[in-house]
Structure 1
Amino acid sequence: MVTDVDMDLIKISEDGHVTKRILREGSGTTPEKNNSVCVHYESFLQDTNVKFDSTRERKAEFTFTLNSGKVVKAWELAIPTMKVGEKAEIFCTSDYGYGDEGRTYIVPPKASLRFEVELLGFWEAAGSAAERISSAEKKKGEGNDLFKKGAIEEALFAYRKARDYIKDLWNCEPEELEKCRLLIVTIQLNIAACHLKLKNYEFAVEVCKRALDRDCTNIKGYYRLGQAYLEMGDFDQSIEFIKLGLEYKPNSTELLALLSMAEKKKQRWLNESKRIYRKMCDN
């Protein structure tokens, strides 16, 4: 008898010994051959449901390169079918797991396995300056698509990987160096946008300042810095950085609107503080 659970299974290997059930749909693209991937996972003995490994319990993501022989064959087949952000169960027989011998003290011989895997992101190897810049641009584009879909955590991962390609790039032609500088400013500000959405305001401040260190005229940097400080309740810092941005673009409607909001919020806070102080004195 075929159950609804069985109908959810996706056959991965031709012999049907590796299957997958999607627990949460992903929003991004799938890894390509020889990409490095980053996952969270939990590993179980399928027959007894005993957990024998977990990155979540270790609080450490796991990174490996596809087709490198570092993981069980079931993963090599199943993970390339997963989209960024996808969480899935992967089932396999022992011939796609730890084989007839198993793993001493951990996995019995000929054990069927179940894995819960979440694909956090992936990236490709890049060598030359041109390759690294191209890979950074590709990863930034992937982050933009994820951000538009509301997959903010996944977008943040993509932007960070984009930054990793070029953050220490210096041994290159002058035009490549300038392209790299402008690109990393954009990436840093995209990272800041993610932190703002996730309410990680201190991180947003940090990356905005790094961006402005490379381009002190970037209006978007001052705007997002003003936003972050405003959300933190630091009205003076918010107003200060908004006004610095207005020195470069006095007619910026976005900065002027944010300045008006910051000044109104500061005034309301002052009025409320005075009211509370008077009430304390009256008592």
Structure 2
Amino acid sequence: MSELLRADGVGFAYRKGADALREVDLTVTAGRHLGIVGESGAGKSTLLRLLLGLDAPTAGRLFADGTPLDVRDRARLRAHRRFVQPVFQDPYSSLDPRRRIGAIVSEPLRSLGIAHGETAATRAAHALKAVGLPADVVVRFPHQFSGGQRQRIAIARAIVGGPQVLLADEPVSALDMSTRVQVIDLLDELGQSGGLEGRPLTVVLVSHDLSVVARLCHDIVVLERGTVVERGTTREVLTAPREPYTQRLLASVPRLSPQS
């Protein structure tokens, strides 16, 4: 299996000198969904911003598809936008309320120069179908949908350009429990089907909820105060956690069982 993303000794410090991340090593492998877990303030979202190329690390190096990722290289960053796409926590705030769904979903195709006009519209319709929404949603607006439907629209926008990696930051925390399950299962289905391009679609899921991670992810990295304290397969980490910090995280999710 090929390596999609890699962080080698990555660190990130804010201007006031506080370290958000310290010497983080991480590998995202094609076809293996990765969960990044930890409490609030552990550095999860900061790490995701680095993987997206929104910020540059202050230490270490990042690689995407085997090539160094330099956010100062505009051409390289543009290619990275086709390689990875984000799914954010609040689907409503990430969708422009003034635009119709068809325009929202097809926007990445136009901005990245992938497709325009009828070709873009057709591809957007395929993406919406892939997330379980009917064709007529293209003429409607975000406020006309439920939270779960809006997150499906956000996922359609993320996959329409054919990325290889989805970076999902707490994508179901704003949803009710039954809708959470549906959205996580959708991400799993997209991974198995290969997305719109028919190639592996790998998810990096940032979450504080271990039950969500257990349902989707093959591997887990545990962050505590910006440092990786534990890593392994989901079964290894959740059934036999070595670190007291991971044990406390598990204890805070009483509905999660080893069988999950």
Task: Tell me the TM-score normalised to structure 1 length.
Answer: 0.26
Highest relative contact order (Cα 8 Å, sep 6+), 1 or 2? 2
Larger-gyration structure (1/2):
1
More strand as a share of residues: 2
